[in-house]
Homo-oligomer: A and B are copies of this chain.
Amino acid sequence: MLTSVFVIVPIASLFALFFAWWFFRQMMKSSEGTDDMKRIAAHVRKGASAYLKQQYKIVIIVFLVITVIFSILAYGLGVQNKWVPFAFITGGAFSGLAGFFGMKAATYASARVANACRTSLNGGLKLAFRSGAVMGLVVVGLVLLDISAWFLVLNHFIPEMDGGYKLMTITAIMLTFGMGASTQALFARVGGGIYTKAADVGADLVGKVEAGIPEDDPRNPATIADNVGDNVGDVAGMGADLFESFAASILATALLGAAAYIDNESVQLNAVLAPMLIAAVGTLLSIAGVFMVRTREGATQKDLLKSLGFGVNFSAFLIVIASFFILRFLNMPNYAGVWGSIVTGLLAGIAIGQSTEYFTASAYKPTKKIAESGESGPATVIISGIGTGLISAAVPLLIIVVGITLAFSFATGFDFTMSQLNKGLYGIGIAAVGMLSTLGITLATDAYGPIADNAGGNAEMCHLGEEVRKRTDALDSLGNTTAATGKGFAIGSAALTALALLASYFEEVRMMFVKFLDMPNELINGVPAIDAEFLDFVQHYQIHLMNPTVIAGIFLGVMSVFIFSGMTMNAVGRAAQKMVDEVRRQFKASPGIMEGTEEPDYARCVEISTRGAQKEMLLPSVIALFIPVVVGIVFGVPGIAGLLMGTISSGFALAIFMANAGGAWDNAKKYVEEGHHGGKGSDIHKATVIGDTVGDPFKDTSGPSLNILIKLMVMASVVTVGIAVSYPLIKPWLG
């Protein structure tokens, strides 16, 4: 049944992996610089590896437990498909592999980038960016590889069925591959987020504030841990986050396509293939885009931003054109409309990035106001940062509202009859795919940031010349800007992906619903004609807003978001406190450290961060995994429906609030450091430093962790749908 065009997907995957390997090899060939530079880099690399090893140990245990549970559900209770445990494992394994390779590349690159900056800015930029591209390409490559493999395997093993049920079944199974990626991402983002900020806050509180030594000073025992943190949080964590979004958006859209076009098998196949093909072609265009990024010596900050922007926009522009022809080639009905949905998604991603930049860059009013409010002390800096952050969430929320409304409307051809509902939901899904289609290069710009940051740290610690420092500073500063917009993009794509997942959750329920009614016996063998059964479904499950179990679910969703972010916030506080104690202890026990005659015990600080992160990430993670199961057992499908909407909506808003407030505080501090309001060392500077420290866990721990939460809760509901359908305590159907 497969059309030959599908071959593009594995080909794009192999291309991506090949170029990742090639960029890696090129990078490894360049020199790592002086012995000092090598030594520092080795410290960071060792710390990062130690962290990853520790994390994977825990993750493997969690995966074993969940796999056993899934096996019981599938083979024991029969409320789940028998392929699920396997799809779950590969998803997790592939995501873990991507994190491993990405971080390897980043930690090998930093000293080499610093060294390249000794000769030229362009050399440094290219090396840093292409090392970041290793992460970007490994992520998209492995996602496409896993999707290709499973699609071929399941196509072979799932028997032919009438009425388009085969593709429904295949895509429904494949979606659970996302659950593995979600679980892996949970630990990478939450653990990495806690790690990086415990180290950062700890290093700053004692180093900068108490001892009065600058950032990245080699005398600070926590400085290596801080640099390791950039890698485990911003490289591995961000990578796992977007691995999940990329995979889940493609898979959810495939399932929604299978459901929407179930009445015509050839259209159905093309609707399933469309998201995969768009992601594949986007990947090829991303590789081309990476080669476009270059700059000239003496480039200004604006030039550098343009260089990166050119690569990203090049890929985005071409995918807009390419996707039109892909859809036309696939002969999709209303292909212009579906194309409109894709463009909507891409534009929404760009718009969210722009709004993030407006609210967090010191070139604009909001951040300037925050810096200005430092004149009446730290309290007003915090108040105005929180006020601005809260308001800033409104813009991306509005963008998402406009985005889903347009994506839905385009895909239905503005025909709002019930029979078009599923096509509209497919439109929302494919908008998410559009937004993420050029992930290969956008993720490269994200991973570039911490590499440049670490290169700067390496240069600082090894006392390289001022010219070199200036170059690494330029690269680092560029990384800060891309980090802010990257965060906005990650959250926006997480929200859109979560909505697509929510829509596919309802499809999964519908498949179970048929089983529950004891129509055809096999879950996977009997799927009702979608349109006709829709009202039955809504009536049966009463997922409407007058049902108190739906309302209860919404409240519980908001609750999950608040408790999860509160816990991650407190986790940073506690872990940072341990770091503070350790640094103080080292300064006291070995006075030689401050005199520069004795090397501090970096490894001990790395270990403290590692252990703190591992310990602190467990409880919030368990909560995130268990709430959907418990709500499903108590309130059934309506409760889950409410839970997920409550989580997605409030989680998205809180994540934006936290990311933007944190980013704005960071840049308000930098703005003062540039000489405004009295500059470095002034009282206003001190006030903004406090704002920046508060913002650290906002923007790098709790905020990004919410991206994971909103996707994971839906995924966990998808894979445990059998429980919610079959065994709710409070029967969800009022009637």
> A708-735, CB under 8 A of B: which get 1 and which 0?
0000000000000000000000110111
Which of B380, B567, B690, B694 lies in contact with A576, CB distance below 8 A? Answer: B380
A389-441, CB < 8 A from B = 389-394, 397-398, 400-401, 404-405, 408, 416-421, 424-425, 428
> A528-572, CB under 8 A of B: which get 1 and which 0?
000000010011000111111111101111110111011101101
Measured between C-beta atoms, what is the minimum distance from A494 to chain B in Å? Answer: 14
Docked Cα-Cα span, A704 to B543, in Å, equals 31
State whether the Cβ of A311 lies closer than 8 Å to any Cβ in chain B: no
Binds B, one of A34-42, A604-612, A644-652: A644-652
By the criterion CB–CB under 8 Å, are A546 and B731 in contact?
no
Given contacts A545-B642, A563-B390, A570-B387, contact A554 B418 (CB under 8 A): no
Q: This chain: how many copies in the complex?
A: 2
- List residues of chain B with CB within 8 A of the CB of A209: 377
By the criterion CB–CB under 8 Å, are B572 and A383 in contact?
yes
A671-714, CB < 8 A from B = 690, 693-694, 697
Docked Cα-Cα span, A539 to B373, in Å, equals 52
By the criterion CB–CB under 8 Å, are A404 and B551 in contact?
yes
Measured between C-beta atoms, what is the minimum distance from A563 to chain B in Å? Answer: 4
Measured between C-beta atoms, what is the minimum distance from A432 to chain B in Å? Answer: 14
Closest chain B residue, CB of each to CB of A506: B546
Interface residue range, chain A: 35 or more
State whether the Cβ of A80 lies closer than 8 Å to any Cβ in chain B: no
Docked Cα-Cα span, A547 to B417, in Å, equals 11
Which of B379, B386, B416, B649 lies in contact with A555, CB distance below 8 A? Answer: B649
By the criterion CB–CB under 8 Å, are B205 and A573 in contact?
no
State whether the Cβ of A577 lies closer than 8 Å to any Cβ in chain B: yes
Measured between C-beta atoms, what is the minimum distance from A492 to chain B in Å? Answer: 12
Which of B556, B562, B573 lies in contact with A373, CB distance below 8 A? Answer: B573
Closest chain B residue, CB of each to CB of A202: B376
State whether the Cβ of A382 lies closer than 8 Å to any Cβ in chain B: yes
- List residues of chain B with CB within 8 A of the CB of A503: 546
Docked Cα-Cα span, A201 to B397, in Å, equals 31
State whether the Cβ of A242 lies closer than 8 Å to any Cβ in chain B: no
By the criterion CB–CB under 8 Å, are B384 and A570 in contact?
yes
- List residues of chain B with CB within 8 A of the CB of A95: none
Of the listed residues A376, A418, A735, the one surrounded by the most CB atoms of chain B closer than 10 A to its CB is A376
- List residues of chain B with CB within 8 A of the CB of A327: none
Closest chain B residue, CB of each to CB of A731: B416
State whether the Cβ of A378 lies closer than 8 Å to any Cβ in chain B: yes
Which of B398, B549, B550, B697 lies in contact with A559, CB distance below 8 A? Answer: B398
State whether the Cβ of A169 lies closer than 8 Å to any Cβ in chain B: no
State whether the Cβ of A483 lies closer than 8 Å to any Cβ in chain B: no
By the criterion CB–CB under 8 Å, are A421 and B693 in contact?
no
A236-265, CB < 8 A from B = none
> A281-323, CB under 8 A of B: which get 1 and which 0?
0000000000000000000000000000000000000000000
8 closest A-B pairs by beta carbon, nearest first, are A390-B566, A418-B735, A391-B566, A387-B569, A387-B570, A379-B693, A397-B559, A394-B563
13 examples of A-B residue contacts, CB within 8 angstroms: A376-B577, A387-B570, A397-B555, A401-B552, A401-B555, A404-B548, A416-B731, A418-B734, A421-B546, A421-B734, A539-B539, A543-B545, A544-B544
